[in-house]
Amino acid sequence: MNGTKRLEWREALRVFRERMGGLTDAKKSYLKSDRETRKAVREALRFGSKTIPELTQQLNLPGENVTWYVMALKRYGEIVEAGRAGDYFRYALKESER
Amino acid sequence: MADIKDRYDGLVIGGGIAGMQAALDLAGQGFHVLLVERQPSIGGIMVGLNKVFPTLDCSSCICTPRMAEVAHHERISLLTYTEVQKVEPLNPGFRVRLLKKPRYVVEADCIGCSLCELACDVYVRHEFDYRLGARRAIYIPHANAIPQVAVLDPEYCVFDGSCAKVCPKDCIDFAQLPEEHTVEAGTVIVTSGLQITPMNAKKEYGGDTYVNVMNPLAMERVQSSNGPYGHVLRPSDGKVPKSVAYVQCAGSRDASIGVPYCSRVCCMYALKQAIMIKHELHDTEITIYHMDIRAFGKGYEQFYRRAMAEGIRVVKAKVARISEVENRDLSLRVELIDEGGKVADIRHDLVVLSQGVIPGWHPGDVLPVPEARDGFFEVPELATKPARSPVEGIFLAGVATGPKDIPDAIVEAGAAAMEAAMYLGRTAVGQAAITGSGRRA
């Protein structure tokens, strides 16, 4: 990206941010929760694989939210399946994410 | 994206399977067509399905080549992420006002590399996966999207410029604004598709309350290899379900929710999904609770019998209500018709509501075509001219006129394209198209 272009998009981004109302409190709150939950899931898996019920119990979050974050991190390559425990899959951090 | 011209022989509204077929069939006769789709990708509902019935062919394997054919056809121009604002008759022909929503990405430059998506640090529930999967605030709409162009969702953008910093083509454009286009078209084909009845249409089923009560299109994504889970799991805890129930007519044949008609596809998609679950999870029990199974199409009755032979339980019953019990399991209170009306409470891990089909678009005064009592577009001569609307020069295909399966939608799209071509042949604007460039010589 050349210098002129970089300045152009930075200025366009500033105007865009203003036009969209900036970072509202609702958006900040969503972002905080989103990032904290992802971090908590990663931390919980740092020392070994877990099922979603095990993660749910440890993180004290609604099961459907934990399922969603596990699947989201799996989709983006941070988490992998690590075998089965009865009716549940186990999930682990990808080696490179440890 | 192709440059948009001032006039086209035909304009097709809706880029699902019917719209794509209509565009291809009209363009195949030498006419220039503009295909307008409101989503960021063409493909409609079909590209998100797992398999088609009764052949169990891969749905996206059928749909994706057709999407590519549309995108590369020399006589089809494509406008995605675009809403139709007004269709005005010119007698002959139509003036159509369109509003292209900003992607904040330059379509012509984006190479679909996903680097912007991977750089964005905001995770969002993905609409394409019925909120069971994830995307980022800037994202490629889905793996098979055409065009493979990113779209930025300003609702979740944190304005840190991370996408622009990594874009190798410098094609993030925060200054983009909605673009208005006005085009003239000799004829219009409407293929505005479907929605399913809302999850809260029948309160007693808890579709908007219990996470393990799913809609059938979400189940299609769950069953898809590129779906949100990669396996059939239930949303509450990722459990491999041991017992799955389908509740038929959960949004059809029910005047109390304004859908008195049969949606025509629910019996078959439930049987198909049940077979696919059984193929993945051999030990899982699957029960379909129904009023009666309607398997009317070619090969459908055999498909129904195949499902039963593969161990799917098909039970004539009325489901009165669904309640959540321990472990987020679901208890169904059912009246078992074949057992003299005995009432039983039956527990399942996961429930799919076979919701009804309702119109995908209510254009109001945007389009001069009236709706019939059922909400779908009116077809005055259904028995003999099923693709003609009451407005001369506007043709209809697919679920725009009522619920139908994919083969019927494709056949009807072909009929609409043929009717549109004949109409162009009868009108001055069409004659100019035919003789003006010698395209049809």
Q: What is the pLDDT of residues B179-223, one digit of tens each?
A: 999 999 999 999 999 999 999 999 999 999 999 999 999 999 999
Segments in B127-199 forming alpha helices (H): 162-166
Q: Residue B72 pLDDT more than 70?
A: yes
To which H or E segment does residue A77 belong?
A: none
By DSSP bridging, strand A88-93 and strand A79-85 are antiparallel
| B128/B142 Cα distance (integer angstroms) | 7
Q: How confident is the model at residue B438 (pLDDT cuts 50, 70, 90)?
A: very low
Distant-in-sequence, close-in-space partners of B366: CB < 8 Å, separation ≥ 6: B84, B85, B86, B87
The mean pLDDT value of chain B amounts to 95
Mean pLDDT of A61-85: 97
In Å, what is the CA distance from B128 to each residue of B44, B46, B194, B240, B358?
A: 10, 12, 15, 22, 19
Residues of A in contact with B230 (CB under 8 A): 74, 81
Q: Residues, chain A, total? A: 98
The mean pLDDT value of chain A amounts to 92
State the pLDDT at residue B379.
Answer: 97
Q: How confident is the model at residue B2 (pLDDT cuts 50, 70, 90)?
A: low
Contact B122 A75 (CB under 8 A): no
Of all residues in chain B, the percent with pLDDT exceeding 90 is: 94
Residues of B in contact with A1 (CB under 8 A): 164-165, 167, 170
Q: Searching chain B, which residue's CA lies closest to the CA of residue A72?
A: B134
Q: What is the pLDDT of residues B389-426, one digit of tens each?
A: 999 999 999 999 999 999 999 999 999 999 999 999 99
State the pLDDT at residue B284.
Answer: 98
Contact A64 B235 (CB under 8 A): yes
State the pLDDT at residue B431.
Answer: 73
| B16/B413 Cα distance (integer angstroms) | 11
| B133/B124 Cα distance (integer angstroms) | 8
Q: What is the pLDDT of residues B271-321, one digit of tens each?
A: 999 999 999 999 999 999 999 999 999 999 999 999 999 999 999 999 999
Chain B stretch 109-148, residues whose beta carbon is closer than 8 A to a beta carbon of chain A: 118, 121-123, 125, 132-134
State the pLDDT at residue A7.
Answer: 61
State the pLDDT at residue A90.
Answer: 98
State the virtual CA torsion across B72, B77, B79, B84 in degrees, nearest 10: -140
Q: Residues, chain B, total? A: 441
Mean pLDDT of B241-249: 98
Q: What is the pTM of this model?
A: 0.95
**Nearest Cα residue to B60 out of B17, B24, B22:** B17
Q: Residue A97 pLDDT more than 80?
A: no
Q: Searching chain A, which residue's CA lies closest to the CA of residue B284?
A: A87
| B362/B139 Cα distance (integer angstroms) | 28
State the pLDDT at residue B441.
Answer: 36
